[in-house]
Amino acid sequence: MDLGLSGKVCFVAGSSRGIGRAIAAALLDEGACVVLTGRDHEALELTLRDLANASNYERILPIAGDLSNAAVIASAMDRTVAHFGRIDHLIANLGTGAGKPGWDQPEEEWTRLFEANFFASVRLTQAVLPHLKERGGSVLFISSIVAVEATPAPLPYSAAKAALNNYAKNLSRMVAVDKVRVNTIAPGNILFAGGSWEKRIAANREGVEEMLKTQVPQQRFGTLEEIASLAVYLCSEQAGFATGSCYVMDGGQTRVV
């Protein structure tokens, strides 16, 4: 199936590791031009070395920096347009779930996790939309099942991701007239090297296995490639009628969406 992504310019936030990196790799395989981004210069360089080859290196632009910072975002937009001439798709893969459990959360935790998981994505989206509205395109947010289900995740993280889902839904209605589509993916438990689940397995393998057995009908972790395949489809011409939706990919864990 031709997804129609050859030559399309895709800005992938948070693509030096994990889900973002897998999405970037899948887009490159489809012939897209990809802006690789990440805060850590060294990690970004390693990703570039791993993903670049003789057939795609001219389609990759690495940009290091903190994309929660408005000045960094503005510079990244300018560099992308100067290099590729335009932006067609934004994959906003930003945020962190690191935080403490319980209801008694200090105000600074709410501020920190909303900044990382909501405001950073909004800021980036508002910077990209003027480019997308010129010719159409799409915005894809990477959220989490914590946004749609009760979980043990930190309350500020869950609330921030829920806000992101609502923002995406309402934004999709506002920009549809400009031929811009907006969707969200809410991944469940995804296992990859260096990720949080790898650390949890090392600390309590039996507990993690019990969680999978009792909470996830498929009784397994998801893979980066599974999330990336859905992301690439949602960016593609084949998903032209898909907008305003949150796509949960969690092995059946959520009970109500």
**Domain positions in the chain:** 9-187+223-247, 193-221
For 75, the token pair is 């510079």
* Residues across the chain: 257
pLDDT for the residue numbered 233:
98
pLDDT for residue 198: 92
**Residues 91, 235: contact at Cβ < 8 Å?**
yes
Give the pLDDT of residue 2.
86
pTM across the whole model: 0.96
Pick the CATH number of 9-187+223-247 from 3.40.50.720, 3.10.180.10, 3.40.50.2000, 2.60.40.10: 3.40.50.720
Q: At what angle do helices 41-51 and 18-29 cross, to 10 degrees?
A: 30
The per-residue pLDDT for range 1-27, each reduced to its tens digit, is 789 999 999 999 999 999 999 999 999
Q: What is the pLDDT along the chain (257 residues), one digit of tens a residue?
A: 789 999 999 999 999 999 999 999 999 999 999 999 999 999 999 999 999 999 999 999 999 999 999 999 999 999 999 999 999 999 999 999 999 999 999 999 999 999 999 999 999 999 999 999 989 999 999 999 999 999 999 999 999 999 999 999 999 999 999 999 999 999 999 999 888 899 999 999 999 999 999 999 999 999 999 999 999 999 999 999 999 999 999 999 998 75
CB 230 within 8 A of CB 249: yes
pLDDT of residue 255: 87
Q: What is the DSSP string of 147-204?
A: GTS--SS-HHHHHHHHHHHHHHHHHHHHHGGGTEEEEEEEE--B--TTSHHHHHHHH-
Place of tokens 């090392």: 202
CA distance 111 to 92: 19
What's the pLDDT score for residue 185?
A: 98
